[in-house]
Amino acid sequence: MVIMQEEREGCCLISYAPLWRTMARTGATTYTLQVKGQISSSTIRRMKAGESVSTNTLDALCKILQCDLQDVVEYLPENNT
């Protein structure tokens, strides 16, 4: 399964904003993700650009940051107004 931050026809948006807030709160850096979790620089770039990442990456982020999935991604429903 791949999580994406892009609008799909009539669907939703996934945001990585909670990840950056969680990292700020815990004092973690992208270097921390790379060293502790072996998250590649290209994966970090993809998250910063709002692109897809694997569920394995999400699992690793939760382990590194000792947090829940909602502290890494959030679902933003399509605005139908």
Residue 59 located in a structural domain: yes
Residue 19 located in a structural domain: yes
Compute CA distances 21 → 5, 11, 29, 45, 78, whole Å: 17, 25, 11, 17, 22
Question: How many domains are contained in the chain?
Answer: 1
**Over 60: is that where the pLDDT of 56 sits?**
yes
Q: How many residues does the chain have?
A: 81
Residue 48 located in a structural domain: yes
pLDDT of residue 5: 45
Q: What's the predicted TM-score (pTM) here?
A: 0.79
**Over 90: is that where the pLDDT of 43 sits?**
yes
**Over 70: is that where the pLDDT of 14 sits?**
yes
Q: What is the CATH number of the domain that holds 63?
A: 1.10.260
**Over 70: is that where the pLDDT of 9 sits?**
no
To the nearest 10°, report the CA torsion of 50, 52, 53, 54: 160
- Other beta carbons within 10 angstroms of residue 19's beta carbon come to 22
Residue 4 located in a structural domain: no
Residue 77 located in a structural domain: no
Structural domain boundaries, residue 48: 12-72
Residue 5 located in a structural domain: no
